Every structure is written in C-alpha cells, then in structure tokens.
Chains A and B, each alone.
Chain A
Amino acid sequence: MGALLLSRLQFALTISFHILFPAFSIGLAMYLVIIEGLWLKTGRKVYYQTARFFSKMLALTFGMGIISGLAMAFQMGTNWAGFSQKVGSVLGVLFTLESLTAFFIEASFLGLMLFGWHLVSRRWHYFATIMVSVGVTLSAFWIMAANSWMHTPAGVLYEAGRFVVTSWFAVVFNPSTILRFTHMLLASYMATLMVISLVAARYLLSKKFLTFANKNLQIALVGLSILAPMQVVLGDMVGLKIHHYQPVKTAAIEGLWNTQKGAPLLIFANISQEQRKNSLSIGIPKLASLINTHNLNGEITGLENVAASELPRVAVVFYSFRIMVGMGLLIIFLTILGLYFWYKQSLTQKSWYHRLLIFSSPAGFIALLTGWFTSEVGRQPWLVYNLVKTKDLVSHVTSEQVLHGFIVIVVTYGLIFGVGYMKFLFKIIQIGPVLKSRNRRGDKWLLQH
C-alpha cells in the first residue's frame, strides 16, 4: 500500500473515532444546560442527580475528545503537508479562530463546571455550564465552516497552486455551512439522547433509580420527538444543496449510472464500479427524483460521463447513505413507540421496549458516522471540490513511515478509545447516579440551596 492510501486510512480511522467524542460532548453539554436550568427553577433533586451523573460522562468524553483531536492537528502537517501548503492559508485561519473563540471558552469554564459544584454559587456554576455548551457549539461551527468550504468552496481564487481569499465572509458562510452545521448539531443531540435513553432503559430494566430513569427517558423522548422531524426537513434541504453543487455525489448516493427523469429510489443495489452498472436492484419508482428535485419527473444526472479517475467509491457512498437513513427511521419509530407507551402510562413497564432501546442505542452514532462517510467519500477524489485532488496533497513521506504510524495508531486507539473509554463509560452507568461525595461540603451545599 502506498503512503497516500495509508494516510487516507489513518485519517479516516482517527477522525471516525474523534468525531464521536465532540458529537457526544455537544449533546451532553446542551442536555446539562437544560437539566441544570430545570434544577435552578424547580430545585428538584432528580435534576441535580441527573446533572451530576451526566457531567461525569461529559468529563470523560471531553477529555477523550481533546486528545483524539490533537491527532487531527498533528496529521495535517505530518501526513498532509501539501494540504497545509495549499489550503492552510484558508482553513488555518478558521482553525485559529476556533481555538481562540471556542477552545478557550471551553477551557476557561470546563474546570469550573466539572469540579466547581461546591466551590462557586449555583448561578455561577450554571453560567459555566452555559459557556461550555456555547464553546463546544462554536467549535462545531468553525469545523463545519471549514469542512463545508471544502465541499462548496467560495470566496477564493485558486492561483499558482494556492488559494487567495477574496472574501472571508464568503469562506465562512459558504453555500453549505449553515445547513450542514445545523444538520450536524441536530445529529449530535439525537445521538446523545439515544445514549440517555439507553441509560434510562437499563435502570428501568434492573428496577434501579426509577425516578431518575423515568424522568430522563421522558426528557429524551420529548427531545427526540422535536428533533427528529426537524432533522428530516434539514436532511432534505441538505440533499437539495448536494444535488445543486455536487451532482456526482447525488448520483453516487442514488446509485444511478445513467441520467434519468423520474429516477427510482434504490433500496438495494449490487453495484459494480468496474462495469459501471448495477447487476441487481430493487427500487421505488420516481422517489429519488422527488427527494432530490421535489418533482416526480425531475432529472438526476447519472455517472455515465464522469471519468473513472474522478468517481468516488460508489458502493460506499450508496450504502453509507442507506444505513444513515435506516438508523434515522429506527430512531423515529422508537420515539413514536415510546410516546405511545407514555400516553398509555405504561412506559416504565414495557421491558421489551427497554431492551429494544438498549439494543438500538448506538443508532444515533451509527447514523452520524455513516452520514460523514457519505459526505466525505462522496466528495472524493477531490479534497477541495473540483479544485484540488486528495492525491496531490499527501506529504513526501515513505509508506513504511506511515505504516508504522498507522499500526501504532490502530493499537493505541483500539486500547484507549475502544476498550478503555467504553469500559469506564459503562462503569459510570453501572455505578449510577449516586449522590455520594467524598467532599462533605457537597452535601451541605445541596441542602442549603
């Protein structure tokens, strides 16, 4: 394997691990803002218990996010020196702004939020929680602005192998930034709410911490019932944007080799990229046209005129998209079912539903990851769409060097993020929301307020 493929695999692996932590942190931080706000307003113990419990999860996840994020910053230089040289003057500015605005806000208030429960007043603590949430959301905004610019570059001229910025506003607010940022934000919230429902379902099954579990499951269901329809609408809007700016990606998502009017939505297809056809496919007539053009007979350009060297991995894009949509539909189904049981006042008794929730809890993160696969693999072979190719940006390093690094990364990530993180996450869940503080002042503080 060459340095290019190894570097791509390494980046794919590290970013796939990394993206899970910030997404979970974004969701948890927002959840804590709501829960702590409810506690401030009502003074009910269950909200305090919830805030303390999930802040433990946030602490662990946030730490993992920081160290896995460092890998991204390092790799931009070590493996993708060409990327730094060509694109650094555009994206580097956005990353610097991210550090200056988002990271420092997080860093300044995170310690206070996690450890300052007994040391500052309730209002100061709530302010710290809000600021952490603002920080992680801002961070997501800058990253999404940078990534969206790579999909829909704007505000630049490409001269002599380098980008010259003509408008920073156009760079930041390029045609897809706001939509993709909102789509990602909602995906993070939904994925987090699925984990929260996992925690609640687990306690309901084992008949432990029932008040806590019931309240959190209800909040998760309310959240999902609001967010899921919004996400469907947003997903549709993102699809329209992709069709407008990246027609090759749309064709890959739909598995269409020939330009068609009234194109079917393929549920399944056996895609052969070499022969440029689907040997077997099952589809719903006209649905792909309806989704992508909002017209039953709308035209979708196929992949027939795209050179082989400019094709993305069609099968990866095709199936990633279907898994993402499938997971989204599963979440909607579980939400409707949960709301129905809640309405029938049997939410706490349906143990099969709780088992189903536990089994389906990774759905949000699977959807999030496969959504990213669709987006990023669909953009290939371009790194900056239609301007710069990925293969031209890899560092001048030997494949042996990259291979050694890759092996070390696989082992380290597997052990630390795969085994270690999951072990300690489940340990937090196993211990549960016990208000047992080694600090006596903590209990006094709770009673005083």
Chain B
Amino acid sequence: MAAATLTCCILITTFLVYLIQDGRALMLCCFAPYCKNHRVKIFNDILPSWDANQTWLVFTIAGVYGAFPIYFGQLMSKYYSFFFLMLILFIVRGAAIEFYIKSYRLRSFWLQILSLSSGLLILSQVFLCTILLGANPKVFIALLPFILWFHYTQACNYLFTIKHRNRIIYVLGIMLTSQFLFELQHVMIWGGLFTSSIFLIRMLLLGFLSKPMPQVLGKILMYYVFFSNTLLVLASGPGTKIFTIQQAMHSNTYSAFFIINVFSLALLPMIGIGLAVMKRIFLTTRDEIVY
C-alpha cells in the first residue's frame, strides 16, 4: 500500500478514536451538572484519560501537518474562524476541568462552563467531520444526529444504573427515530447497494444496542456502527474528496512516513490497550480519585 494511502488510513483511524474516546467524555461532561449521584464516577472516568483523549487529536493534527502540509494549511486558513472557535473551546473546557477540581467557591460555575463548552465541542466535532468530508451540508445533517446519538449511548451505556433506564430509553428512542430518518435520507440521496446494505446492518445493530447487553459486546458493536458510518459517508460521494489529498504528500516524506506508519501500526494498538487497562484500574474503585 502506498505510504500516502496508509498514512491517510492511520490518520482517519486515530481521528475516529479521538471522536469515540473524547466524545464519550464530552457527553459525560454535558451530563455532569445534572446527575449529582453519578458525578464522582463521571470524573473518575474523565480525569485519568482526559489528556490521552486529546493526544489522539494532537497526533492526527501533527500527522496531517507532516504528511499533507498543503492541505493542512489551506484547510485551516480557509476555516479560520471555526478553528479559532474550536481552539478557544478546547482551552476553556480544559481549564474548566482543572479549575473545577481545585475550586470550592466557584465549583458549580466551572461545572456549568464545562458542560456548556463540552456541548459546543460536540457540535464542533460534527462540523469538523463535515469539513473533512468536503463541507457538504448534507453530511452535516446526516452526521449530527448520529454523533449525538453515538456519544449519548456511550455515556449512558457506561454510566447509568437501572434506576434511570426508562428515561434513557425514552430519549434514545427519540434519537434513534431521528437517526433512522436521516439514515434513510442517506440511501435516498446517495443510493447504491453498498450504502443500502450498510444501512440495513446498522439499523439492525441500532435495534440491538438499545437493549441491555454485556458491555464488551455492546462496545464492539457500537464501534462497528461508528466506523461503518464513516465508511457510509466516504462511499456515498462527498467523502471521496479526502482521498485527493494523497497527491499532496510530498515524495520526500515517503520514507519518513513509511517508518512512522510502521511505528504507528505497532504502537497505537498497544497504546489503546494500555489506556484501556489503565482505565480498568480506575473503574475498580468506587471512591473519588484524588491527587
């Protein structure tokens, strides 16, 4: 496989890992002010892996910068205001997490700021995906309910006790219905056998996911759904734009990116497993983690 294609695949994967990992944390932060009983658990989940989540994004940014510098420069300067807003949101959210832990008097203020900035960051994630996939408004419409649903399901699946189940399933039902309509729109707009088959598989899986099931199996299925959504959008047309950036990789970086790709393929799964093990350690405690 050509260095550019492999690099592109690795960067898409790391970006999706960022979306998945940080997406759950973002949604949990959105919930944090409104579920006092679960707040300890929420922060036990977010705090140890917060910087790891950002690292997936930083790696993606650095990778695009190194492998496709022309595309990077053009994209960032074209959407200057959006990227600036996103940057400020990252700064405010990061500061809100730190200051929430340390603060006493303004604790609830920082919690609200954390919730608000996290919500806006979820929206900016959708917008960022749309930009990466060719800035097509249809993609935005298709992605918005999906990403919201995905992060929401991840957060709920992981966090909530049976006590809240009815409420969760009610909200999930609304989101799933809207998701169904937008999925249907995918098929109607872009058509094709591949799109239709993915749509059918995904709908079946979405049905499964709204029922309680072992967490590991649930997670695997959710990840499949998430990745297949990306495949769907890529295969549907506007996504093909992303592959034109292969030409933007300069030949002199081929050798460097060959090595980086080999390292990435070897290291990134190990890092993912390592972080999951670390997370497991923190989830074994019911006490509030302190430093």
Chain A residues close to B by CB (< 8 Å): 52, 55-56, 59-60, 62-64, 66-71, 73-74, 76-85, 87-89, 91-100, 103-104, 106-108, 110-112, 114-120, 162-165, 168, 395-397, 401, 404-405, 408-409, 412, 416, 420, 424, 427-428, 437-442
Contact = CB atoms under 8 A, between A and B. Distances in A.
B228 interface: no
A76 B91 CA distance: 17
B173 to A, nearest CB: 35
Contact of B264 (A63, A91, A100): A100
B218 interface: no
A77, A115, A420 — most chain B CB neighbours (10 Å): A77
B267 interface: yes
B102 A424 contact: yes
B95 A107 contact: no
Interface in B62-118: 62-63, 65-67, 69-70, 72-77, 80-81, 83-84, 86-88, 90-92, 94-95, 97-99, 102-103
Interface string B268-291: 100100110010011011011111
A83 B73 CA distance: 8
B51 A439 contact: no
5 contacts: A70-B54, A92-B69, A100-B59, A112-B278, A119-B284
B277 to A, nearest CB: 9
B231 interface: no
Given A64-B95, A92-B69, A96-B65, 8 more contacts: A74-B61, A81-B76, A84-B73, A92-B62, A95-B66, A103-B55, A112-B281, A115-B47
Interface in B220-253: 250, 252-253
Contacts, number: 231
Contact of A120 (B47, B54, B63, B281): B281
Interface string B8-50: 0000000000000000000000000000000000000001111
Interface stretch (B140-148, B151-159, B194-202, B255-263): B255-263
B290 A67 contact: no
B188 interface: no
Contacts of B278: 108, 111-112, 116
B205 interface: no
A118 B94 CA distance: 25
A71 B76 CA distance: 12
B275 A115 contact: no
Contacts of A412: 88, 91-92
B62 A96 contact: yes
A99 B77 contact: no
B99 A424 contact: yes
A54 B225 CA distance: 43
Interface of B: 47-52, 54-55, 58-59, 61-63, 65-67, 69-70, 72-77, 80-81, 83-84, 86-88, 90-92, 94-95, 97-99, 102-103, 250, 252-253, 255-257, 260, 263-264, 267-268, 271, 274-275, 278, 281-282, 284-285, 287-291
Give the dominant DSSP class at B's interface.
Answer: helix
A89 B285 CA distance: 45
Contacts of B102: 60, 424, 427-428
Contacts of B252: 89, 163-165
A106 B288 contact: no
B289 to A, nearest CB: 4
Given A70-B91, A96-B63, A112-B48, A55 B77 contact: no
Nearest to B287: A439
A110 B47 CA distance: 10
Contacts of B69: 84-85, 87-89, 92
Contact of A63 (B97, B260, B290): B97
A89 B51 contact: no
A99 B58 contact: yes
Given A78-B83, A115-B291, A70 B90 contact: yes
A77 B256 contact: no
A115 B74 contact: no
B103 to A, nearest CB: 8
Contacts of A69: 58
Given A60-B98, A68-B91, A77-B83, A89 B250 contact: yes
B95 to A, nearest CB: 4
A169 to B, nearest CB: 11
A71 B85 CA distance: 11
B80 A395 contact: yes
B290 A442 contact: yes
B84, B264, B271, B281 — most chain A CB neighbours (10 Å): B84
Given A64-B98, A108-B52, A71 B91 contact: yes
Contact of B256 (A67, A73, A93, A108): A93
Contact of B95 (A89, A97, A420): A420
A94 B97 CA distance: 30
Contacts of B48: 111-112, 114-116
Nearest to A171: B256
A155 B97 CA distance: 43
A405 B95 contact: no
Enumerate the 5 nearest inter-chain pairs by beta-carbon distance, A residue then B residue, closest first. Answer: A88-B69, A77-B76, A92-B66, A111-B48, A81-B73
Nearest to B66: A92
B267 A100 contact: yes
A69, A84, A115, A437 — most chain B CB neighbours (10 Å): A84
Nearest to A80: B73
